[in-house]
């Protein structure tokens, strides 16, 4: 390679690495990123709050890795010129309203320079904030009411929104949504200009649970706007490959090609690089690796992690991506299947694994034995009434006693296929202890198919498996 080509390869590698950090939300059949309606809806909502002083609220819903956080960051970039105060809370970290209040006050101190929770007689920390244990929850409405009196609009992002619904009386959600609703009414009834101008507020909830809205109390739901923005990963393998193509064929920017003197050299490089990517993505081994990855996880985040190592290894001695490097990265990232013995499991064990599919489709990543048993029992009852017979045998599911299913569940726990998601508690009875399934969906599908049980296969396909 010539010295100019060396510089272009280095610039191309840096551009792809930047694209891996911020992958496209969607790509069309031509590999071009399109501005989809979810982003437009969220940008419109934020513009209403930051430019017109409105109070807005919405829920961004989608599975993990589908691009919810990226969608919100892109939308925030579009209103960055309004310099909003951005408050980020997480239901994973803020387990109660006191912790949420303290974190909100801490972020307000850092972004505005003013303290909104005064220290108590018990003392304060280095930032002048009272400890979480000494903050009275009665201060919550006053603290949130101050958000509309700031000299800048406010955006509140609630990660794991469904966990905030477990707080006592859902006080935090009620105060935030009530303030947003009151702010919206104020912007509609007044000119909202002059010294008494009130800035808008946007409350954005983020969750993987599609039934999150049903968790809200009636008084909280009445304050919510009802606006839902759904985000999903690529729905087909072709779209998945288009996203990979868009990432790898990212064009060089002016900052990255300052050292390139001739425009013809750049055009020649771009054509050559795009052709090498097209060859790479059409390679049979590359397609096999991407299909294996797509069958495990459809999210773009995992795709970027697998592409990272081959891109990092680009050099003048190895200037093109290869299927061998992709396979090596895939094996290192994903590893060998840890549950290769699933195909040898009994009928009750496979039935419980399939039940996790149907529960996951309702947005519940965690489950307990009672949930799996009820799901299995409903399937047995549903298929037991089917009059269809094949070779003299019913196509319905085989009824299994609860004691046998309990033993199968305990076997899966012992094999660490089902893993507890929290510490043991004396207040929670055994059938209601929450677990998660550690086995990959692809491993479960393969195990059910290898079992040759048509009844289980039919039930599995009803869970969205093609």
- Domain coordinates in residue numbering, the chain: 3-21+234-334, 37-230, 340-461
Please give the pLDDT value at position 449: 87
Q: Which of 19-28, 220-229, 362-371 has the lowest mean pLDDT?
A: 19-28
Please give the pLDDT value at position 136: 67
396 confidence band (pLDDT: 50, 70, 90)? low
The answer, yes or no, to whether residue 370 has pLDDT greater than 90, is yes
For 429-442, how does the pLDDT look when each residue is reduced to its tens digit (9 = 90+)? 888 889 999 888 87
What is the distance between the alpha carbons of residues 20 and 27, in angstroms, rounded to a whole number?
14
42 confidence band (pLDDT: 50, 70, 90)? very high
* Beta-bridge mates of residue 158: 89, 205
Greater pLDDT, 128 or 418: 418
Mean pLDDT of 296-301: 83
pTM here? Answer: 0.65
The answer, yes or no, to whether residue 62 has pLDDT greater than 50, is yes
Mean pLDDT of 327-343: 80
344 contacts: CB under 8 Å, gap ≥ 6: none
The sign of the dihedral angle between the CA atoms of 438, 440, 443, 447 is positive
Beta strands 201-207 and 418-420, pairing class: unpaired
288 contacts: CB under 8 Å, gap ≥ 6: none
392 confidence band (pLDDT: 50, 70, 90)? very low
Mean pLDDT of 262-266: 72
Residue 76 and residue 46 in contact, taking contact as beta carbons nearer than 8 Å: yes
How far apart, in Å, are the Cα atoms of 170 and each of 141, 223, 240, 371? Answer: 12, 12, 39, 25
Chain centroid to CA 43: 19
The fold of 37-230 is Rossmann fold (3.40.50)
Helix (H, G, I), strand (E, B) or coil at 285: helix
Greater pLDDT, 75 or 25: 75
DSSP letters of 377-414? HHHHHHHHT---EETTEE-SPPP--HHHHHHHHHHHHH
33 confidence band (pLDDT: 50, 70, 90)? very low
The sign of the dihedral angle between the CA atoms of 291, 297, 299, 300 is negative
What is the distance between the alpha carbons of residues 324 and 211, in angstroms, rounded to a whole number?
42
Q: Quick one: what percent of the chain has pLDDT higher than 70? A: 81
Please give the pLDDT value at position 397: 80
Please give the pLDDT value at position 131: 53
Beta strands 389-390 and 201-207, pairing class: unpaired
φ, ψ of residue 451 to 5 degrees: the values are -65, -25
For 64-108, how does the pLDDT look when each residue is reduced to its tens digit (9 = 90+)? 888 899 899 999 999 999 999 999 999 999 998 889 998 998 999
Q: Quick one: what percent of the chain has pLDDT higher than 90? A: 46
For 178-237, how does the pLDDT look when each residue is reduced to its tens digit (9 = 90+)? 999 988 655 555 545 554 566 899 999 999 998 999 999 999 999 999 999 998 888 889
188 contacts: CB under 8 Å, gap ≥ 6: none
The answer, yes or no, to whether residue 428 has pLDDT greater than 50, is yes
CATH class as words, domain 340-461: mainly alpha
DSSP letters of 210-224? TTGGGGS-HHHHTTS
For 122-155, how does the pLDDT look when each residue is reduced to its tens digit (9 = 90+)? 555 555 555 555 566 677 888 898 898 888 999 9
How far apart, in Å, are the Cα atoms of 288 and each of 291, 295, 338, 386? Answer: 5, 11, 20, 39
Please give the pLDDT value at position 163: 94
The answer, yes or no, to whether residue 393 has pLDDT greater than 70, is no
Average pLDDT, rounded, for the chain: 83
Please give the pLDDT value at position 297: 80
The answer, yes or no, to whether residue 285 has pLDDT greater than 60, is yes
Mean pLDDT of 10-24: 88
The answer, yes or no, to whether residue 349 has pLDDT greater than 50, is yes
363 confidence band (pLDDT: 50, 70, 90)? confident
In terms of phi and psi (left: phi > 0; alpha: psi -120 to 50; beta: otherwise), the region of 110 is alpha
In terms of phi and psi (left: phi > 0; alpha: psi -120 to 50; beta: otherwise), the region of 137 is alpha
């Amino acid at each position: 390679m010539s010295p100019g080509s060396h510089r272009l390869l280095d610039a191309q590698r840096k551009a792809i690495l930047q694209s891996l950090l911020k992958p496209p939300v969607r790509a069309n059949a031509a590999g071009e990123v399109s501005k989809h309606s979810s982003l437009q809806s969220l940008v419109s909502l934020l513009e209403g709050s930051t430019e017109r002083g409105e109070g807005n609220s919405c829920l961004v819903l989608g599975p993990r890795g589908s691009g919810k956080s990226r969608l919100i960051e892109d939308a925030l970039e579009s209103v960055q010129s309004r310099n909003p105060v951005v408050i980020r809370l997480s239901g994973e970290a803020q387990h109660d309203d006191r912790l949420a209040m303290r974190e909100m006050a801490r972020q307000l101190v850092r972004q505005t320079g003013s303290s909104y929770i005064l220290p108590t007689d018990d003392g304060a920390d280095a930032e002048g904030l009272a400890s979480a244990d000494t903050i009275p929850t009665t201060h919550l409405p006053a603290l949130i009411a101050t958000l509309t009196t700031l000299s800048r609009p406010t955006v509140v992002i609630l990660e794991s929104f469904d966990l905030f619904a477990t707080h006592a009386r859902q006080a935090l959600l009620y105060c935030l949504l009530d303030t947003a609703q009151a702010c919206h009414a104020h912007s509609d009834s007044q000119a909202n200009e002059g010294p008494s101008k009130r800035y808008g507020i946007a409350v954005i909830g983020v969750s993987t649970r599609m039934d999150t809205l049903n968790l809200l109390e009636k008084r909280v739901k009445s304050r919510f706007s009802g606006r839902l923005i759904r985000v999903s990963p690529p729905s087909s393998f072709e779209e998945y490959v288009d996203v990979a193509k868009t990432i790898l064929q990212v064009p060089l920017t002016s900052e990255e090609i300052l050292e390139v003197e001739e425009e013809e050299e750049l055009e020649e490089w771009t054509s050559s690089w795009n052709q090498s990517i097209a060859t790479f993505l059409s390679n049979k081994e590359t397609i096999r690796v991407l299909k294996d990855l797509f069958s495990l996880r459809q999210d773009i985040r995992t795709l970027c992690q697998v592409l990272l190592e081959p891109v990092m290894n680009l050099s003048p001695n190895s200037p093109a991506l290869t299927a061998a490097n992709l396979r090596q990265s895939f094996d290192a990232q994903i590893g060998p299947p840890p549950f290769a013995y699933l195909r040898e499991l009994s009928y009750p064990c496979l039935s419980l694994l399939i039940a996790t599919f149907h529960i996951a489709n309702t947005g519940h990543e965690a489950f307990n034995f009672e949930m799996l048993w009820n799901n299995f029992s409903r399937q047995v009852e549903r298929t037991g009434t089917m009059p269809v017979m094949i070779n003299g045998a019913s196509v319905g599911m085989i009824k299994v006693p609860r004691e046998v299913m309990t033993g199968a569940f305990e076997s899966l726990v012992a094999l660490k296929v089902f893993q507890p998601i929290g510490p043991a508690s004396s207040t929670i009875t055994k059938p209601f202890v929450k677990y998660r399934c550690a086995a990959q969906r692809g491993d479960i599908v393969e195990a059910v198919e290898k079992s040759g049980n048509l009844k289980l296969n039919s039930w599995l396909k009803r869970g969205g498996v093609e």
